[in-house]
Amino acid sequence: MTLTETKNANPAPLGLLGFGMTTVLLNLHNAGIIELSAAILAMGLAMGGAAQLIAGVTEFKLGNTFGGTAFCSYGLFWWSLCLIWLRPFGDIAAAGNATMGFYLLLWGIFTLFMFVATLKHNRATQTVFGSLTILFFLLAATDFLESRPLKTAAGIEGIFCGLSAIYSSMAQIVNGEFGKKIMPLG
């Protein structure tokens, strides 16, 4: 490599880690294990939002439309969700269950199409997007039906989704560092 050449790093592990850690933390709340707190909001803004945006912009710069669209979109999802909870817009009414149901339904539809695109990717990526699609539809149904048991089930499924993203992130890092497949991605 000459002085003018640079090696591009893989931004996906950062984005997946930001998504995975934030998703696990929020879904511990959805499952009824922990309370909604500043820790979840901070993780949502920093790792869920900022880390994924950084990864997404980098993916676009590398010519990866799928990765750029995914990471930027889900990074902005986390920022929008935190804004909904923080209500910085003053007198605008808080999002009710029906509004949140449609908000989550739209994210589920987007994620379903992204899942279809993963059919050309590895099994780990398919698992992340497949479980995320299920999660968004379960959370939308939770809000439409106002069902605590369904929210608990969604939380458990969301923990799985987040852990699958963390695994994919760690596998890419470990495999990249060792230059061979140590943790399979399928």
Domain ranges of the chain: 12-87+94-178
CA distance 71 to 73: 6
Please report how many Cα atoms fall inside a 13 Å half-sphere around the Cα of residue 102, on the Cβ side. Answer: 4
Q: pLDDT (tens digit, 0 to 9) for every residue of the chain, 186 residues total?
A: 566 777 889 999 999 999 999 999 999 999 999 999 999 999 999 999 999 999 999 999 999 999 999 999 999 999 999 999 888 887 666 678 899 999 999 999 999 999 999 999 999 999 999 999 999 999 999 999 999 999 999 999 999 999 999 999 999 999 999 999 999 999
CA distance 75 to 53: 5
Alpha helices in the chain (DSSP H): 12-30, 38-43, 52-61, 65-86, 97-117, 123-145, 148-178
CA distance 101 to 90: 22
pTM of the model as a whole: 0.93
CA distance 111 to 108: 5
